[in-house]
Amino acid sequence: MTALWLRDPIGILADGAERGVVVDNGRIVELVPAGAEPATPGAAVFDAGRHVVLPGLVNTHHHFYQTLTRASPAALDRTLFPWLQALYPIWARMTPEALDAAVTVALAELLLSGCTTTTDHHYVFPAGLDDAVDIEVAAARRLGIRAVLTRGSMNLSQRDGGLPPDSVVQDEDRILADSERVIGAFHDPSPDAMVQIALAPCSPFSVTTSLMRATAGLAARHGVRLHTHLAETIDEESFCLETFGCRPLDYLEQTGWLHDRTWLAHGIHFDAGEIARLAAAGTCVTHCPCSNQILASGTCLVCEMEAAGMQVGLGVDGSASNNASNLMQEVRAAYLLQRAHYGVETVSHRDALRWATTGSAACIGRPELGRIAVGAVADLALFTLDELRFSGALDPLAALVTCGAHRADRVMVGGRWVVEDGAIPGLDIAALMRRHAAATRVLHG
């Protein structure tokens, strides 16, 4: 690949790169400061004079399959537990073809929002959907996005005292065998990895203690990360107290999960002592502001977590609770929610951008992502400010957050353009939407 100079952006989230960056062989090789020319010989030029340049955004919590149940009437205006109970029977009818459409929609939406790396938490495996992770890997490779795909699981059904119905759970042996299979088939531990695997039992109210402990052991043996929902709602806290005789974080520690290879989704209902324990263990939390507001679950104490030394990332969560897979919109939602909670002196637009970049990269153990620096991978998101919403904006970086940017003009992953002029090359969006809509209709009967 020829070295490429992204020249003279109108704004860039990096110090000493006023004249842009040079990328070569999939990495950033040079920051070009004001008044300078690149030292890299023979670099081609991309004129970034219309663009604000961000590190590629990193999404650390999602459920791709839920794009099939956006604004589903059965689940509207419900809190988490009844919301899940309304949707489980619909998800139980999911087919491989429907999942492929759902995943492709989610990934396309993420890419177009400036996201270059995403996780997914797939935990619903009805009959006939054993190869869900395989379907996700294939879609990510087609679109050219980096992915940390978590092999989720549920084995505690209603008959055993859990929340999900029998139709969407699997037994422990089957879960562990497939977890080991997908690690062997798809996990790439290298710093430039396009696909990695993590393990993700769904939640305290949908998996057994035995599965939590066995999954922790399997992840340790293979050196992969762990992910789960925790401290999302008061209902979950009550379930843990009644079922296990302890709070959710105590349960996590008892099952061998409280360490620096774990990142948790939501983390709303931790107290000050628990935040200190999480920080000491190196455990990270993903903030999901849109989902938390739609389900009225509460507000993650992001500033207390960062003050304690924790890393906090950002996630869009499932499209059935967020109703979007747009990470740039999630940045704005986090900025607004946390600023309303803590005040203008405490939370700025740069904090929200940090959560979606270096904070999120730390959650998934990928320090080479989420930053514009020499040696970092060349994952970049370029936004223009030529829409009416930005007219008159003076600070380009602030404008992206405060004025509501939602669609990237260009996106680069590993030095290769995967979004050009606001479109994904080779992807027929209209045909994808027709296929996705048809699958949604079938799923809802």
**Rg (the chain; Cα; Å):** 21
* Residue 177 or 319, more confident: 177
Dist CA 362 CA 355 (whole Å): 10
Is the confidence at residue 312, as pLDDT, over 80?
yes
- % of the chain beyond a pLDDT of 90: 98
Of 77, 157, 113, 165, nearest to 419 (Cα)? 113
DSSP 189: -
* Residue 425 CB neighbour total at 10 angstroms: 11
pLDDT score, position 1 = 63
In tens, the pLDDT along 220-239 reads: 999 999 999 999 999 999 99
Alpha helices in 327-374 (DSSP H): 327-342, 349-354, 360-363
Of 225, 224, 270, 279, nearest to 250 (Cα)? 270
Is the confidence at residue 284, as pLDDT, over 80?
yes
29-to-41, 96, 367 alpha-carbon distances in Å: 12, 41, 16
DSSP 404: T
- Report, as an integer, the average pLDDT of 76-95: 95
Mean pLDDT of the chain: 97
- Amino acid present at 86: A
Phi then psi dihedrals of residue 133, to 5 deg: -65, -35
- Amino acid present at 369: L
In tens, the pLDDT along 157-168 reads: 999 999 999 999
pTM for the full predicted model: 0.98
**Collapsed DSSP state (helix, strand, coil) of residue 208:** coil
Say if domain 4-54+378-419 classifies as CATH 2.30.40.10: yes
Q: Where are the chain's structural domains?
A: 4-54+378-419, 57-363
pLDDT score, position 118 = 98
pLDDT score, position 136 = 98
Find the helix packing angle between 172-186 and 209-222, rounded to 10°: 20
Dist CA 248 CA 285 (whole Å): 14
Q: Which residues are within 8 A (CB) of 45 and not within 5 positions of it... i.e. 6 or more apart?
A: 4, 5, 7
pLDDT score, position 445 = 86
Pairing of β 284-287 and β 115-122: unpaired
Q: Which residues are within 8 A (CB) of 191 and not within 5 positions of it... i.e. 6 or more apart?
A: 366, 368, 377
Dist CA 68 CA 437 (whole Å): 8
Count how many residues are written for the chain: 445
In tens, the pLDDT along 145-187 reads: 999 999 999 999 999 999 999 999 999 999 999 999 999 999 9
In tens, the pLDDT along 325-354 reads: 999 999 999 999 999 999 999 999 999 999
Token pair, residue 212, equals 């939590």
128: left (phi over 0), alpha (psi -120 to 50) or beta: left
- Report, as an integer, the average pLDDT of 362-367: 98
In tens, the pLDDT along 370-381 reads: 999 999 999 999
Q: Note whether 166 and 154 are within 8 A (CB).
A: no
pLDDT score, position 63 = 98
Dist CA 413 CA 398 (whole Å): 24
Say if domain 57-363 classifies as CATH 3.20.20.140: yes
Is the confidence at residue 319, as pLDDT, over 90?
no
Is the confidence at residue 2, as pLDDT, over 90?
no
- Report, as an integer, the average pLDDT of 106-134: 97
Dist CA 164 CA 305 (whole Å): 31
